Structure 1
Amino acid sequence: MRALRLLAALLTLAAPAAQAQLAEGGARVLGLGRAGVALGGDAWGHTNPAAWAGLAEGRAALQASQAFGLSELRLGALTAALPTPVGTAALHARTYGFSERRETRVVVGLGRALPLSVTRRLDVGLAVGLESAATEGYASQTAVLVHAGVQGEVLPGLRGGLAARNLLGLGLGDTADLARSASTVPGLTVGLAYTPSERATLVLDADQDLDFGLSVRGGAEVQVVDALALRVGVSSAPVRYAFGAGVRAGPLRADLAVESHETLGLTPAVGVEIGF
């Protein structure tokens, strides 16, 4: 039974939909179809480390998700970001998997605003970390992670973003590529965030990595009232639909999201965040 459990998890990790399994980076982004490379002021900084530069206060957050309802694909993560005189410093940690197959990641980062003029600025960010993938009975693999990104206002109400992840993986050969986990594959994301009003945000991303085809992702967020936001999103390669909601009460925020994969089923995620 134990061997079958491990085999099932490894087969899932090796499937073409592997990029869809790691439901991380905050339930808000998951509810937007995983689009958000141009969204600023995000404590997770998952889609773009430049998002840390837009935070006006310190924030700490927790997230939990379970891909396709399988306990073997459960993920837990925490993040904290704090503005300092040199920029916003961030710390992120997450664990994913189960006892026979475990992926653990720790990342530190910095986001900083660079003034371009009196009224315009460019937000930049850099994140560096380690990820360890351990499979029972086999040697563990450790990868060094380097992510970088930029964000800036293109037009009034329209923000653009670009982020590159796992830059050190670009020089790895085919042998190393087979050994690393799906979450350490290099990739590039470009996108836009449009805010037609104070209560509505539209996002659109295009994501490309070395192992999969182009994924186009889009989402919309509507602030129904000050305390409640509703979200919807969709993405391709693989096709996924997402729905989410966010509730705010003072410095506290709770986010819920459910993502539906075209063949593998539902992935729920929940996050709690506090400002300080």
Structure 2
Amino acid sequence: MHQTTNLTFNLFVCFFLLSTTPLFAQTDLLDSDSYSISVGGASVTLETPFAAFYNQAGLAELESVSAAVHYQQLYLTNDFTEMSGAVCLPLKTSTFALSVWQTGMTGYHESRFGLAFAKKLGPRLSSGLQFSYYMMDFPENGTIRGTFLFEMGARYEFPGKQTLGIHLFNPFGAGIQSNFNQRSIPVALKVGAGFPLGDKLKTYLGTSGDMEGNYKLHGGFDYQPHEHFSLRGGLSGKPVRYAAGFGYRWNFLQTDLAVSHHALLGYSPSVSLTFNL
């Protein structure tokens, strides 16, 4: 009976996600840690400090003060990198988080600074929101312009440990105006699910996109043969991007490594460190 319930849930999730994907387009949502990258960006249900970047509701389940940092070398180009970090403070029924993200190369950078709040609304339901300031360094005139962004999300866990998550980014359609052009930041939505297959295997499925008709599908798995060690893999597109990685947890430190491959641009290795204090 329990296996039948799990199968019914998994089929429902697959049909739901596939039916929603034509409504939204490819987004600028960030996969700003190696765990998310290694499972193909199907990260909207994850419970890590990096949830500050892809669904703030996942912060509500954190139990200890934590700090996390991430570094990615994009497409094996020496001066094209992405860096991010988050500090999380859990309270009795809520969590606060500060986050920072930056990407770019010599002469051009994009940055985002965020303040997130997540709260448990019940034993299975949590929600979160974040206010951010996003900046771009425009190389054509040597100026820096920015705008305020808002995002919010929710997460629900079923009795069988299956989870559903949803995240809405920039619902008010904020953008940045320079002296010569307008940088559009799309309204974007990400929907996803996670479900265990036995005690050692977790699978993830998601879709993301904006209102202009582009979209992505995301899928991945996390196999944990040992209490402290995980193997992961994932796929997303379009364009097709596949990834692999592993994680190791020892005492207060979680280390995650990943490498992803973009069909057009090549490989991007990354590393993330999470300190649970």
Distance 2:219 2:50 in 1: 19
Distance 1:237 1:174 in 2: 29
SS in 2 for 1:203: strand
Tell me whether 1:122 sits opposite 2:125 in the alignment: yes
1:26 is matched with 33
Question: Does the CA-based 8 Å contact 2:146-2:176 persist in structure 1?
Answer: no
Following superposition, the deviation at residue 212 of structure 1 comes to 5.9
Q: 2:83 aligns with which of 76, 96, 104?
A: 76
SS in 1 for 2:50: coil
Distance 2:212 2:263 in 1: 19
Distance 2:227 2:81 in 1: 32
Q: Which letter maps to 2:182? A: A
SS in 2 for 1:28: helix
Q: How does 1:200-215 map to 2 (within 5 A)?
A: 200-211=201-212, 213-215=214-216
SS in 2 for 1:43: coil
Q: Which letter maps to 1:245? A: F
Tell me whether 1:143 sits opposite 2:150 in the alignment: no
Q: Deviations over 1:16-47 (max 9, x none)?
A: xx968x874211010000111122x2111122
Q: How does 1:4-153 map to 2 (within 5 A)?
A: 24-39=31-46, 41-45=47-51, 46-85=53-92, 87-115=94-122, 120-138=123-141, 139-153=143-157
- Structure 2 stretches lacking a partner, 5+ long: 1-25
Following superposition, the deviation at residue 175 of structure 1 comes to 10
Relative to the length of structure 1, the TM-score reads 0.83
2:263 is matched with 262
Relative to the length of structure 2, the TM-score reads 0.83
Q: How does 1:265-276 map to 2 (within 5 A)?
A: 265-276=266-277
Distance 1:144 1:58 in 2: 27
CA change 1:209–1:233 in 2 (3 A) is: same
Distance 1:174 1:204 in 2: 35
Q: Which letter maps to 1:27? A: S
Question: Does the CA-based 8 Å contact 1:23-1:65 persist in structure 2?
Answer: no
Following superposition, the deviation at residue 209 of structure 1 comes to 1.6
Q: How does 1:238-249 map to 2 (within 5 A)?
A: 238-249=239-250
CA change 1:211–1:141 in 2 (3 A) is: farther
Distance 1:275 1:125 in 2: 21
Q: Deviations over 1:79-136 (max 9, x none)?
A: 1111024510001012211231011110010111011xxxx43110001110110123
Q: 1:161 aligns with which of 151, 159, 165?
A: 165
Question: Does the CA-based 8 Å contact 1:23-1:75 persist in structure 2?
Answer: no
Distance 1:212 1:43 in 2: 31
1:225 is matched with 226
Question: Does the CA-based 8 Å contact 1:132-1:140 persist in structure 2?
Answer: yes
SS in 2 for 1:25: coil
Distance 1:70 1:19 in 2: 23
CA change 1:219–1:238 in 2 (3 A) is: same
Question: Does the CA-based 8 Å contact 1:141-1:180 persist in structure 2?
Answer: no
SS in 2 for 1:36: coil
Higher alpha-carbon deviation: 136-145 or 121-130 = 136-145
Distance 1:69 1:19 in 2: 23
How many equivalent pairs are there? Answer: 249
Q: Which letter maps to 1:166? A: N
Following superposition, the deviation at residue 217 of structure 1 comes to 0.3
Identity of aligned residues (%): 25
Q: Which letter maps to 1:229? A: S
Question: Does the CA-based 8 Å contact 2:176-2:182 persist in structure 1?
Answer: no
Q: Which letter maps to 1:122? A: L
Distance 2:50 2:196 in 1: 21
Distance 1:81 1:197 in 2: 30
1:234 is matched with 235
